[in-house]
Amino acid sequence: MMVRTLDDLIAEGVSGRRVLVRADLNVPLDGETITDDGRVRAALPTLRKLAGAGAKVIVTAHLGRPKGEPDPKFSLAPVAARLGELLGTAVPLAADLVGPGARSVVDALGDGQVALLENVRFDARETSKDEKERAELAGELAALAGDAGAFVSDGFGVVHRKQASVFDVARVLPAYTGGLVLAELEVLRTLTEEPARPYVVVLGGAKVSDKLGVIANLLTKVDRLLIGGGMAYTFLKAQGHEVGKSLLQADQLEQVSGFLAEADKRGVELVLPVDVLAATEFAADAEHEAVDATAIPADRQGLDIGPKTRELFAGKLADAATIFWNGPMGVFEFDAFAGGTRAVAEAIARGDGFSVVGGGDSAAAVRQLGLPEDGFSHISTGGGASLEYLEGKQLPGVSVLEEGK
């Protein structure tokens, strides 16, 4: 992959220049409290490097899914505050994205200072399907950077989106690839090109429909595929088992049956839960018991993999030379149903192989459960982007960097 990098930009000289950085600061909030600042911390190396070289750094990012207009509950104010704490200096938040507030904040920036623009998704043009609308917003963002400006793409969690601040702005400003994006792509190439074997993938999460493409592609590459989480029940149903009130995507049964047949044909070991924690309701304090995965009572729903499955999965991970994990094994937000996710994470961390946690809920689970992050070779910042890459899709935010403005 031939792209211009952040190091190339620094070598050219950035002192006194405005540099627009697309970061991924889409953190989970409880009110105005950030519950997992992993993505904010992941953005720091690029911001520090630019600020240290004297650039005037303008950060653009999104939070949540506002409907293309300002919404106070999706303001980046808590992120600006946390970013300032971590950088050790105030990070002003512009009152708007490309309006008078943004221009005022950007004009006041001194060399080596960092400012954050308000939520880019407060402008409907960011996610518009109309190329002219996106290009218009990209032009206004580029104007903030000025004639000597540059663009650094460092939000890996959004590079699979064809959006104004990710894709179109890279066609207006000289574009460079940030260190975070480069590191993520290097890890994904390791997983797809010549992974050390045995190569084991663990997939969880709620819906099998979210992972159809990645499962289809991985069946051509992996040695073992372990399936947990809510998506496991559609696989169990496809095998003819009762799943009670567990999460089920009946419209995916034919597709899943095809996956089971394909795995068998290719000699891929596809491993499903052998027992689950079956609960009376979806609640943190629900009454529950471990039951065989082939005999879930009709009035119960599976909310986690059971103790036998935890042991089974740990055994299947023990000799892995390469591991990719995406998706929790159960409702890890509830303490009673976090044990399966914890067991899988601990089994991965115990191994000696190259291990990648595929962002999203998996990364959040590692931190929420208090597991040491250095137990994994890499914790991704982009769940959706990682999955689309493993699915074999082109990532627009990467392809545009390869074009080179």
CATH number of the domain that residue 106 is part of = 3.40.50.1260
* Stretch 375-384: mean pLDDT: 88
Q: Do 200 and 177 reside in the same domain of the chain? A: no
* 39 is known to lie in a ligand binding site: yes
Q: How many helices (H) and strands (E) does the chain have?
A: 14, 16
Q: What is the pLDDT of residues 84-135, one digit of tens each?
A: 999 999 999 999 999 999 999 999 999 999 999 999 999 999 999 999 999 9
* Stretch 262-271: mean pLDDT: 97
Asked which of 136, 151, 182 is the last residue of a domain, the reply is 182
- Residue 334 and residue 243: Cα distance in Å, rounded? 21
Q: How many domains does the chain have?
A: 2
Residues carrying an active site annotation: 39, 207, 360, 384
Q: Do 37 and 119 reside in the same domain of the chain? A: yes
Residue with tokens 């999955």: 387
Q: Do 216 and 108 reside in the same domain of the chain? A: no
* 359 is known to lie in a ligand binding site: yes
Does residue 346 contact residue 371 with C-beta atoms inside 8 Å? Answer: yes
Asked which of 182, 215, 240 is the last residue of a domain, the reply is 182
Q: Do 145 and 212 reside in the same domain of the chain? A: no
Question: Higher confidence at residue 87 or residue 359?
Answer: 87
* Stretch 303-324: mean pLDDT: 97
Asked which of 124, 147, 182 is the last residue of a domain, the reply is 182
Does residue 377 contact residue 190 with C-beta atoms inside 8 Å? Answer: no
Query: Is residue 330's pLDDT more than 90?
Result: yes
pLDDT, position 405? 64
Q: Do 173 and 217 reside in the same domain of the chain? A: no
* Stretch 194-214: mean pLDDT: 92
Query: Would 161 be classed as within a structural domain?
Result: yes
Average pLDDT, the chain: 95
pLDDT, position 111? 98
Q: Do 233 and 346 reside in the same domain of the chain? A: yes
Q: Do 178 and 203 reside in the same domain of the chain? A: no
pLDDT, position 358? 87
* 244 is known to lie in a ligand binding site: no
Mean pLDDT is lowest, of 180-189, 248-257, 358-367, for 358-367
CA distances to 198, 227, 253 from 154, in Å: 32, 31, 38
Query: Would 360 be classed as within a structural domain?
Result: yes
* Stretch 295-319: mean pLDDT: 97
pLDDT, position 259? 96
Mean pLDDT is lowest, of 68-82, 115-129, 353-367, for 353-367
Query: Would 150 be classed as within a structural domain?
Result: yes
Q: Do 138 and 206 reside in the same domain of the chain? A: no
Q: Do 178 and 322 reside in the same domain of the chain? A: no
Q: Do 109 and 159 reside in the same domain of the chain? A: yes
What is the pairing mode between strands 301-305 and 18-22? Answer: unpaired
* 65 is known to lie in a ligand binding site: yes
Cis peptide before 198 (omega within 30 of 0): yes
Q: Do 68 and 147 reside in the same domain of the chain? A: yes
270 has which bridge partners? 225
pLDDT, position 369? 85
**DSSP line for 151-201:** EEE--GGGTTS--TTTTGGGGTS-EEE-HHHHHHHHHHHHHHSS--SSEEE
Going by pLDDT thresholds of 50, 70 and 90, the confidence category of residue 1 is low
pLDDT, position 174? 97
* Signed CA dihedral, 22, 381, 127, 192: sign only: positive
Query: Is residue 374's pLDDT more than 90?
Result: no
Tokens read off for 329? 């094994």
Query: Would 260 be classed as within a structural domain?
Result: yes
pLDDT, position 366? 87
Show the domain range for 178.
Answer: 6-182
* 82 is known to lie in a ligand binding site: no
Q: Do 178 and 199 reside in the same domain of the chain? A: no
What is the pairing mode between strands 288-292 and 275-279? Answer: antiparallel
Query: Would 399 be classed as within a structural domain?
Result: no
Query: Would 404 be classed as within a structural domain?
Result: no
* Stretch 346-361: mean pLDDT: 90
Query: Would 42 be classed as within a structural domain?
Result: yes
Going by pLDDT thresholds of 50, 70 and 90, the confidence category of residue 362 is confident
pLDDT, position 215? 94
Query: Would 396 be classed as within a structural domain?
Result: no
pLDDT, position 2? 81
